[in-house]
Structure 1
């Protein structure tokens, strides 16, 4: 999938909402927060689906 290239991309959460919209590389994406991240936290994309990007704080990201 084309958006798999977004895995590992980081951004700062604009709000404390559990889901929202973010613009990455000029494209609007929906995201869902999968841990306890709040507004101002740095998050990393760890899941990609046709509907949304899953994000977590970097310390919660699984390393393979």
Structure 2
């Protein structure tokens, strides 16, 4: 279903969301969601940068 969490189905996702709601409450949940989304976006960007840095020298040799 998700690239980072390939084995998470709908029941597991609902459980995670319910636990997040209980732990953080309805007021903080949007803020936590934004922070998690931003972190994932930055992580993916860093991974793409590293992959590009590795692939560019390899492609130049060909």
> What interval of TM-score do these two structures reach, taking the shorter chain for normalisation?
under 0.3
**TM-score, normalised via structure 2 length:** 0.17
Q: Over alpha carbons, which structure has the higher Rg?
A: 2
More relative contact order in 1 or in 2 (CA 8 Å, sep 6+)? 1
More strand by share: 1
- Larger fraction in helix: 2
